[in-house]
Amino acid sequence: MTELPGWLQSAGYLFPQAWIARGLRHTVLPVEFTDAIEPQPFGVAAIGELPVVAVALSLWFVAMAALTWRAFRWFSR
């Protein structure tokens, strides 16, 4: 993602795939490789990697659960 324009890099973090990839990279690779592969978005380095990934994915889960609850009904009203 480092070759993309800055605004497009920020837009990429609106989707859960970017956060899943960051979390997997952090758990599998050493910290030196993780920092070299991808820059830290939104001040993640100051907070820590995994808490930010967990919050981002939790927000996605809540938003999609609410959308699913609203869109799919088992019983008609």
pTM assigned to the model: 0.70
User: Measured between alpha carbons, how far is 23 from 50 in angstroms, rounded to an integer?
Assistant: 6
What's the pLDDT score for residue 1?
57
50 pLDDT band, cuts 50/70/90, is: confident
Please indicate, yes or no, if residue 76 is contained in any of the structural domains.
Answer: no
Task: Report whether pLDDT(64) > 80.
Answer: yes
**Domain-embedded: residue 77:** no
Q: Is the pLDDT confidence value at 72 over 80?
A: yes
Domain assignment of residue 19, given as a range: 6-71
18 pLDDT tier (thresholds 50, 70, 90): confident
Domain count, the chain: 1
52: Cβ contacts below 8 Å, ≥ 6 apart: 42, 44
At 28 the pLDDT is 84
Phi-psi region of 73 (alpha: psi -120 to 50; beta: other; left: phi over 0): beta
